[in-house]
Chains A and B, each alone.
Chain A
Amino acid sequence: MNLGEFEHIVLLAILRLGDEAYAIPIREEIEARTGRSVARGALYTALERLEAKRCLRSRMGAPLPERGGRARRYFTVTAAGLASIRSSRRSLMRLWQGLEERLES
Chain B
Amino acid sequence: MSDRRSPSPLAERLLSIVLGDGEWTDSILGDLQEEFEIRADRSRHRARLWHAAQIVRLTVRGLAARVRRPRPVVPVPPQPPGDSLMRTLDVEFRYAVRSILRRPAMSAIVILTLGLGLGANAAVFSIVDALILRPFTIHDVDRVTLLSYTKPDDLDKRDSVTAADFLDWKKEKIDVFERFAAFDWWEANIVGRDEPEAVLGFRVSADFFPALGVQLTAGRSFRPEEEIFGQDRRVVIGHGLWQRRFASDPEIVGRAIEINGDKYEVIGIGPAGFDFPTGAQMWAPFAPDATVAANRRGDWLTAIGRLAPGRTLDDAKAQMAVIGERMSREHPDTNRDRKARVYTLSEGMTDAGVGPVLAMWQASALFVLLIACANVANLLLARGAERQREMAVRLAIGASRIRIVREMLLESIVLGLVAVPMAIFLAWGFLKLLVQFMPAKIARFVAGWYEIDVDGRMIFFTIAIGLGAAVIFGLVPALQGSRPRLAESLKDGGRTAAGGVSRLRLRRSLVVGEMALALPLLVASALSVVTVHRFLNGPQGYDADRLLTMRAILSGGRYETPESRRRFAIDAIDKLAALPGAQSAAAINIIPAQGGNWGTSLEIEGVPSDDPNNPPSSDYRTATEGIFATLGVPILKGRAFSDADREGSLPVAIVTESFARRFWPNADPIGKRLKAGNSDWLTVVGVCGDVIHDWFGRRNYPTMYRALRQAPPASVALVVRTPRDPKLLLGDARAALRAVDPAQPLFDLRTMREGLGERTIGLQYIGAIMLVFGGLALVLALIGVYGVMAHMVTQRTHEIGVRMALGATERDVIRLTIGQTGLLTAIGVALGVLLSIALNGAMQAGLLAASSDARIVAGLAVLLSGAALAAGYIPARRAAAIEPTVALRGE
For B61, list chain A residues within 8 Å (CB). Answer: 39, 41, 45
Interface check A72, CB cutoff 8 A: yes
For B35, list chain A residues within 8 Å (CB). Answer: 24
Query: Interface code A61-72, partner B: CB below 8 Å = 1, 0 otherwise?
Result: 001111111111
Interface size bracket, B side: 20 to 34
Q: Which of B48-99 contact A (CB under 8 A)?
A: 54, 57-58, 61-62, 65
For B65, list chain A residues within 8 Å (CB). Answer: 45
A60 to B22, CA, bound (A): 12
Q: Which of B1-22 contact A (CB under 8 A)?
A: 1-6
B372 to chain A, nearest CB (A): 40
Contact, CB under 8 Å: B58 / A70: no
A6 to B541, CA, bound (A): 84
Interface check A53, CB cutoff 8 A: no
Interface check B251, CB cutoff 8 A: no
For A70, list chain B residues within 8 Å (CB). Answer: 26-27, 29-30, 33
Number of interface residues of A (CB under 8 A): 21
Interface check A73, CB cutoff 8 A: yes
A39 to B5, CA, bound (A): 25
Contact, CB under 8 Å: B4 / A41: no
For B5, list chain A residues within 8 Å (CB). Answer: 68
* Among candidates A22, A39, A63, residue contacting B31 with C-beta atoms closer than 8 Å: A22
A65 to B35, CA, bound (A): 13
A100 to B23, CA, bound (A): 46
Contact, CB under 8 Å: A69 / B3: yes
Contact, CB under 8 Å: B57 / A39: yes
* Among candidates A40, A48, A64, A71, residue contacting B58 with C-beta atoms closer than 8 Å: A40
Listed residue (B2, B4, B34, B61) with the most chain A CB atoms within 10 angstroms of its CB: B34
Supposing A66-B37, A67-B34, A70-B30 touch, asked if A41 and B58 sit within 8 A by C-beta, the answer is yes
B128 to chain A, nearest CB (A): 54
B72 to chain A, nearest CB (A): 12
Contact, CB under 8 Å: B34 / A66: yes
For A22, list chain B residues within 8 Å (CB). Answer: 27, 31
A72 to B65, CA, bound (A): 24
Contact, CB under 8 Å: B30 / A72: yes
Contact, CB under 8 Å: A68 / B30: yes
A22 to chain B, nearest CB (A): 7
Contact, CB under 8 Å: A68 / B2: no
Contact, CB under 8 Å: A68 / B6: yes
For A72, list chain B residues within 8 Å (CB). Answer: 27, 30-31, 34
Contact, CB under 8 Å: B57 / A40: yes
Contact, CB under 8 Å: B58 / A67: no
A26 to B2, CA, bound (A): 28
Contact, CB under 8 Å: B31 / A23: yes
Interface check A44, CB cutoff 8 A: yes
For A40, list chain B residues within 8 Å (CB). Answer: 31-32, 54, 57-58
A41 to B31, CA, bound (A): 12
A41 to B65, CA, bound (A): 10
A73 to chain B, nearest CB (A): 4
For A66, list chain B residues within 8 Å (CB). Answer: 4, 33-34, 37
Supposing A48-B24, A60-B27, A73-B23 touch, asked if A67 and B57 sit within 8 A by C-beta, the answer is no
For B26, list chain A residues within 8 Å (CB). Answer: 70-71
| Cross-chain pair count, CB within 8 angstroms | 67
For A23, list chain B residues within 8 Å (CB). Answer: 27-28, 31
A71 to B33, CA, bound (A): 11
B2's nearest neighbour on chain A, judged by CB, is: A65
B16 to chain A, nearest CB (A): 12
Contact, CB under 8 Å: B31 / A65: no
B49 to chain A, nearest CB (A): 16
Supposing A40-B54, A40-B58 touch, asked if A73 and B34 sit within 8 A by C-beta, the answer is no
For A60, list chain B residues within 8 Å (CB). Answer: 23, 27
Query: Interface code A34-60, partner B: CB below 8 Å = 1, 0 otherwise?
Result: 000001110011001000000000001
Supposing A24-B35, A65-B3 touch, asked if A44 and B28 sit within 8 A by C-beta, the answer is yes
* Among candidates B3, B4, B27, residue contacting A73 with C-beta atoms closer than 8 Å: B27
B60's nearest neighbour on chain A, judged by CB, is: A41
Q: Which of A71-88 contact B (CB under 8 A)?
A: 71-73
A50 to chain B, nearest CB (A): 13
For B34, list chain A residues within 8 Å (CB). Answer: 24, 64, 66-67, 72
Supposing A69-B3, A73-B23, A73-B24 touch, asked if A64 and B57 sit within 8 A by C-beta, the answer is no
A27's nearest neighbour on chain B, judged by CB, is: B31
B23's nearest neighbour on chain A, judged by CB, is: A60
B837 to chain A, nearest CB (A): 63
A68's nearest neighbour on chain B, judged by CB, is: B33
Contact, CB under 8 Å: B27 / A71: yes
A67 to chain B, nearest CB (A): 4
Contact, CB under 8 Å: A67 / B24: no
A42 to B467, CA, bound (A): 45
A63 to B3, CA, bound (A): 9
A51 to chain B, nearest CB (A): 9
B7's nearest neighbour on chain A, judged by CB, is: A68
Contact, CB under 8 Å: A41 / B30: no
Listed residue (A22, A67, A72) with the most chain B CB atoms within 10 angstroms of its CB: A67
Q: Mind listing 24 A-B residue pairs with CB under 8 Å?
A: A23-B27, A24-B31, A24-B35, A39-B61, A40-B32, A40-B54, A64-B34, A65-B1, A65-B2, A66-B34, A68-B3, A68-B30, A68-B33, A70-B26, A70-B27, A70-B29, A70-B30, A71-B26, A71-B27, A71-B30, A73-B23, A73-B24, A73-B27, A73-B30
Q: Which residues of A are interface residues toward B (Cβ below 8 A)?
A: 22-24, 39-41, 44-45, 48, 60, 63-73
Contacts A41-B58, A65-B1 aside, 5 further interface pairs with beta carbons under 8 A come to: A22-B31, A39-B57, A45-B61, A69-B3, A71-B26
Q: Which 9 A-B pairs have the closest CB atoms?
A: A70-B30, A69-B3, A73-B27, A67-B30, A41-B61, A68-B33, A23-B31, A66-B37, A67-B34
